[in-house]
Copies of this chain bind each other. A is one copy, B any other.
Amino acid sequence: MTSVEAAINELISFPIFNQVPKSLVLELCEGGKIITSSHREQLYRCGDFASTFGIVLSGAYKLSKPTPMGDDVIVHFSTPGDVIAAFIMAQPNPIYPVTATAMGPSRFLRLSRDIFLSQWKKNPDLILRIQSLLSTRMNLLQDHKVMARSPLPQRVASLLLSLIDKNSDTKDLTLPLRLTRREIAENLGSSVEAVIRIMSDWSKQGIIQTNDQVIEVLRPDKIVDLMNS
């Protein structure tokens, strides 16, 4: 059994392959290889030549860019079903615009650029689906920009909500990934200490709860209030 066949049931459950027949999915993912990443392992490095792209199967990857100074800024959290680097495959000489790093043990279906150019590219419907994912990601970036003037607590609240929404299980208000305070700070463009002070406060008030870096929202109403005040 090939890698792709092993993952086919996961693949067809993702929006990008929604309603796509299994046979076509197998064609599109021909030669694909399942990569298992351990915590903090790098999948792609910003600036490298982009010869492969792929789909997150399980776990999560953070997409980050280094700043002129040493530290990193996280631009996106990629969870299962997310496509990584597909946007740039059509470029003549593609370079990864971000570094992708595993957050906890994760799995990724890696596909070659060749298969994109020969199979994916000729399918307009598929490209539009990728565009839709890209569009979602751009909306998140835009929303982030809109919040730029808001004080930090509102921005943290906004981030937590945006990560919960992905999960769409309305009952369970647990973030679907392990998230350190540092990563929150790196995503919001602030300092770890400031994030800690805010979230400690919320913990004391019983608004949120953290267990082994997994954050659970106990009082979503309070979070929404905080975001809009």
State the A residues within 8 Å of B (CB): 65, 67-68, 71, 73, 75, 87-88, 90-91, 97-98, 121-124, 127-128, 130-132, 134-135, 137-139, 141-142, 144-150, 188-190, 228
Contact across chains for A132 and B189 when beta carbons are under 8 A apart: no
Q: How many identical chains are in the complex?
A: 2
Closest to A72 in B: B146
Residue in contact with A127 in the complex, picked from B131, B141, B188, CB distance below 8 Å? B131
Residues of B within 8 A of A132 (CB): 90-91
Nearest CB in chain B: distance from A9 CB, A: 26
Contact across chains for A128 and B121 when beta carbons are under 8 A apart: yes
Residues of B within 8 A of A121 (CB): 124, 128
Nearest CB in chain B: distance from A163 CB, A: 16
Most buried by B among A121, A131, A137: A131
Contact across chains for B131 and A87 when beta carbons are under 8 A apart: yes
A130-B127 Cα distance, complex, nearest whole Å: 11
Closest to A75 in B: B142
A228-B71 Cα distance, complex, nearest whole Å: 14
Nearest CB in chain B: distance from A142 CB, A: 5
Contact across chains for B134 and A138 when beta carbons are under 8 A apart: yes
